[in-house]
Amino acid sequence: MTLLYRIDGPPSAPVLVLSGSLGTTHRLWDAQLPALLGHFRVLRHDHRGHGGSAVVPGPYAMEDLAGDLLEVLDRNGIDRVAFCGLSLGAAVGITLARDAPERVERLVLCSASDRFGTAESWAERARVVRDSGLEPIADDILARWFTPRFRARRPQAVARFRAMLTATPAEGYAACCDALGAWDVRGRLGPVVAPTLVLAPENDPATPPAQGRELTEAIGTARLVVLTHAAHLANVERPGAFTTAVLGHLLQEAA
């Protein structure tokens, strides 16, 4: 399995992994990168089947996505990382922190849950995408990614992310839907011991704050911050507040 990844920042700095959502690439984190590089060596990647990473036939499992990332870490001699994941990326982070706790020092989970919707809804989305690509569902997804206010005020940003979404290979997207449909770790989060910040966007229809609260309660080391005036891609819609919260957690825990 070959992932596209980028590592930026000073070689001597601690490593921070940024793992994105379904239908995005490593460019999801462009707004965060300048501030984070002042403190970390930052590793961004495209999930399998996304962006510049290889597309292999599905279905995928969350353990496959986490295993891909572990291979990248091993290839670069990186033993232990801080991890920030959004949505699908948060599920990858939980999988790493649960199954390989010695590799994850600190954890940030945004737009996250211990279960995303139902297996049936993900199977239907995967079927549509395999049959017709991303274009038929793109506008519905963007309505979950961004609030109406952001879509009205920042049409160029929305258009950029629409292009990113619709360029995602259909099989890669659908196979990650399969992984999300099988994702259910309710009652199985005890092994997650890394200090954890859960960021719950206030206006996220996909993972509303109630799910963030449930996840926070299920992880004994977690605390919750609700990001106001933001939907699913909160790091794009509220980049300053998002980055401040992430650095506050990571640097406090590192102190």
Query: 196-248 pLDDT, tens per residue?
Result: 999 999 999 999 999 999 999 999 889 999 999 999 999 999 999 999 999 99
CATH 3.40.50.1820 fits 5-254, yes or no: yes
- pLDDT > 70 fraction of the chain, expressed in percent and rounded: 99
Q: pLDDT tens across 72-94, in order?
A: 999 999 999 999 999 999 999 99
d(CA 97, CA 81): 10
Region of residue 120 (phi > 0: left; psi between -120 and 50: alpha; otherwise: beta) = alpha
Peptide bond into 59 cis (omega under 30): yes
For position 254, what pLDDT does the model report? 44
- Residues above pLDDT 90, as percent of the chain: 97
Quote the pLDDT of residue 32: 98
Q: How confident is the model at residue 255 (pLDDT cuts 50, 70, 90)?
A: very low
**Neighbouring residues of 236: CB distance < 8 A, sequence distance ≥ 6:** 28, 31, 145, 146, 157, 161
The structural domains of the chain, with segments of one domain joined by +, span 5-254
